[in-house]
Amino acid sequence: MKPLLLIDIDGPLNPYAALSRRRSPQGYTRHLMRPTGWTDGPALPVLLNPEHGGELLALAGRYELIWATTWKDEANEWIGPRLGLPALPYIDWPDMHGAAPAGTYWKTRYVVDYAAGRPFAWVDDEITGQDRAWVEEHGAGERSLLLRVDPRVGLERTDFDALAAWADGREAAG
């Protein structure tokens, strides 16, 4: 069984912290979107790099791709098609932005619960050392890769290479 690749959008695929710049980062296109709840004021600007779709599809041979984003199923409407991705399963968060154990990011416990013992790589811009420690303490440390992505930059070649190498090592190990 393939490991899971749990993909956040805002930060890794949409380097939202780069929006304050006059120009989009190289390779990125600005899209204006109106997902559910974004009804007042101007449309939401989202930066996407269409090459990331091909990179993720290449990883689909090694991973089962899963959205791990507050966009939930709307990622399949607003983000996936712009990247050339098929509809992906998503984590339906039981409680978004709620309290989290031991100073962790609110997603962390739900990511571990969703993986349910399967190996997983998680890509997010909010991952900290506390999240890594919590994952380790809850028995998923050896079965996981937590990859923090700079929200000013988004996913880079080295990130895709690290994800491929980790999956290949997991497969080689068993």
Per-residue pLDDT at 157: 96
Q: What is the value of pTM for the model shown?
A: 0.92
As a whole number of Å, the CA-based R_g of the chain is: 16
How far apart (Å, rounded) are the C-alpha atoms in residues 34 and 68?
A: 19
Per-residue pLDDT at 138: 84
In a structure prediction context, what are the per-residue pLDDT tens digits for the chain, which is 174 residues long? 899 999 999 999 999 999 887 777 889 999 999 988 787 888 999 999 999 999 999 999 999 999 999 999 999 999 999 999 999 999 999 887 777 878 899 999 999 999 999 999 999 999 999 999 999 988 777 899 999 999 999 999 999 999 999 999 854 433
Residue at 142 is within a domain:
yes
Residue at 111 is within a domain:
yes
Residue at 42 is within a domain:
no
Residue at 36 is within a domain:
no
Pairing of strands 29-33, 120-124: unpaired
Residue at 27 is within a domain:
no
CATH number of the domain encompassing residue 166: 3.40.50.1000
Per-residue pLDDT at 171: 46
Per-residue pLDDT at 25: 84
Residue at 44 is within a domain:
no
Q: How many domains does the chain have?
A: 1
Residue at 99 is within a domain:
yes
Pairing of strands 29-33, 44-48: antiparallel
Per-residue pLDDT at 170: 59
**Domain span including residue 92:** 4-15+49-173
Residue at 31 is within a domain:
no
| Kind and range of the H or E run holding 144 | strand 144-148
DSSP 87: P
Query: Contact 119/163 with Cβ under 8 angstroms?
Result: no
Query: Contact 134/95 with Cβ under 8 angstroms?
Result: no
Per-residue pLDDT at 140: 78
How far apart (Å, rounded) are the C-alpha atoms in residues 13 and 18?
A: 12
